[in-house]
Amino acid sequence: MSEIQEKITITVALTLFFVIFITAFSFTQLFMVNNRNTNLYNLAEQNSKLTEFVSGSFTEPEEALAYLKDTDYLKKFEELQG
């Protein structure tokens, strides 16, 4: 009788462990996706403002590209691409 109880206890413990592990993994993925979406939204807002600034401040595309290389704007795109 105790051998059966041990097997049931081990089975329940392993099942709970895997359920908790999968749940934790799922929530981690959800937070990562939410963080990426937030970053994309912020970058889209910044892109709109930057477009207005660049179109009003620079006449040549090379000047605008040089300005962007001096900021962290292009680096944010690289980070979002992974």
Q: Output the six-digit token pair for 46.
A: 């910044």
Across the chain, which distance is largest between two alpha carbons, in Å? 86
Nearest one of 37, 42, 45, 77 to 68, comparing CA atoms: 77
Backbone torsions φ then ψ of 14, nearest 5 degrees: -65, -40
Q: What is the number of structural domains in the chain?
A: 1
Q: How far apart are CA 63 and CA 40, in angstroms?
A: 25
pLDDT tens for 26-80 read: 988 888 888 888 888 888 888 888 888 888 888 888 888 888 888 777 777 777 6
pLDDT at 60: 84
Q: Output the six-digit token pair for 47.
A: 């892109």
Residue scoring higher pLDDT (81 or 30): 30
Assign 82 to helix, strand or coil.
Answer: coil
Domain that holds residue 42: 2-81
Contact of 77 with 71, CB cutoff 8 Å: no
